[in-house]
Chains A and B, each alone.
Chain A
């Protein structure tokens, strides 16, 4: 058996894009994994193979291809369910991504159940996809949206949650398991315990967490859970919404159309069984298959190994970045409370300028508000630079980042 170190060294060859160069022949150093990850051959090939050999619409026709297509689509559902310990496959709905998943909940659960005066609680470090759908819903219903604040260490202030729960008006608490800007891992056990004690439903945005650590839905005890395939080696345009069955059964449909129906008459329709009631229209079959291949890939590595690798990289990066004069890192330094996402600002240089100069050295980092303007306001900055890691990143690549930051210092005379 190969050591975990050689496992991580060897897997780079599975990613064709990592072999290319950018900007005057510089090797690509891809550090924007919180945004989207690169895809291994195993995922790319599974999609080609599907189109080359099995393509047909699912759940309808009786011929061989349709049967195969349905089989590979449903097999991916089982793989994903197994990956995050979903016991009942009927609770796993395929959507375009985390954004669509949360909008589905806001529409299909929120519209029937949220009334005037109700409160929905989110947090200051959410992605816009876990803020805007709730603004739309609460504005429409005359309900209120409240925020759990964040302390200067980048951790949630759970006293705020107590305060809102004490009003007796909270219907949903929605939060990300890991912040896409600070990498903070939320104290999920405490939040869910508090909500459960007063019978309040919880939604977890798992987009940043599922790709990077072992997640067990049963153990978490939330009611809604959303994540995306493309942040975990899978293709874009495919994600998952999980809803506890007792809640899912009370929800109205989201999109109306084919496949979500049992019987359609001129003026009334009855709904298909779960989860198909929420999967209207021809789904993104090929990318579901690709997502399944990504799950196979990660399962083979083991999520505990993934987490250990990223802790190693993050530790190293935090150490090296701390040595860069004038560089300010946001969020907690406690490695057990954060993932491999590091946001920083470099003296008075704007993040776009930082990103542009390091790009000249082949380093892809993100700059901007990271779809988290509420958090930017809280940090009192317009933007940050962000480096985020995944299984194929190496310490040598972090050294390249550090060297390219020295170039920034030179240009801006820091």
Chain B
């Protein structure tokens, strides 16, 4: 795969017109993280009801890969229950955009929003559940993403 091939139509479109971009003022949980190497920075707001993600929005600054993956992630997440969200894996995002073979230095761009989502989820669970094992597992998940 040549470098320019990564930037197929879908990626470029998503980066120009990100989906679910913005803020949820009355969110139930919000989380921010950045990539210290490149400065990409993502915030995710979640609205949660009946153990389900009823709304999700993201905002921040990032490259086309980061923006496209964030858009896809929010699309995948919306409407899922928390257990399903927890099970979202990196390949769910990468395969959606044909980025399975993305080079190592760009993987962090692709997965930053997934890390933020998982971190938001455990922040929420920490406030609403008292099963600390669950939270530790989630933290592990988030940390092992890349």
Query: Which residues on A are within 8 Å of B, measured CB to CB?
Result: 23-24, 348-353, 356-357, 359-360, 367-369, 373, 376, 382-383, 407, 411-413
Total contacting residues, chain B, CB less than 8 A: 22
Is B61 a contact of A23 with CB atoms below 8 Å?
A: no
Query: Which residues on B are within 8 Å of A, measured CB to CB?
Result: 2-4, 6-7, 12, 15-16, 37-41, 61-67, 106, 109
Is B3 a contact of A356 with CB atoms below 8 Å?
A: yes
Is B4 a contact of A357 with CB atoms below 8 Å?
A: yes
Is B7 a contact of A352 with CB atoms below 8 Å?
A: no
- Known pairs A351-B63, A352-B106; A407 contacts B12 (CB<8 A): no
Is A24 a contact of B38 with CB atoms below 8 Å?
A: no
Q: What is the interface of chain B mostly: helix, strand, loop, or mixed?
A: helix
Please tell me which one of the listed residues B4, B15, B39 contacts residue A376 in the complex, with CB atoms under 8 A apart: B39
Is B2 a contact of A360 with CB atoms below 8 Å?
A: yes
Is B6 a contact of A413 with CB atoms below 8 Å?
A: no
Cα(A57)–Cα(B33), bound, Å: 47
Residues of A within 8 A of B62 (CB): 350, 382
Is A369 a contact of B39 with CB atoms below 8 Å?
A: yes
Report A375 CB to chain B, min CB distance, Å.
12
Is B3 a contact of A352 with CB atoms below 8 Å?
A: no
Please tell me which one of the listed residues B7, B39, B67 contacts residue A357 in the complex, with CB atoms under 8 A apart: B7
Please tell me which one of the listed residues A24, A368, A411 contacts residue B7 in the complex, with CB atoms under 8 A apart: A411
- Known pairs A357-B3, A383-B39, A411-B7; A350 contacts B63 (CB<8 A): yes
Is B64 a contact of A353 with CB atoms below 8 Å?
A: yes
Is B15 a contact of A350 with CB atoms below 8 Å?
A: yes
Q: What is the interface of chain A mostly: helix, strand, loop, or mixed?
A: mixed
Cα(A60)–Cα(B105), bound, Å: 45
Is A382 a contact of B39 with CB atoms below 8 Å?
A: yes
- Chain B residue nearest to A24 (CB atoms) is B2
Is B106 a contact of A368 with CB atoms below 8 Å?
A: no
Cα(A382)–Cα(B59), bound, Å: 13
Is A382 a contact of B12 with CB atoms below 8 Å?
A: no
Cα(A360)–Cα(B6), bound, Å: 11
Please tell me which one of the listed residues A353, A356, A373 contacts residue B39 in the complex, with CB atoms under 8 A apart: A373
Is A352 a contact of B63 with CB atoms below 8 Å?
A: yes
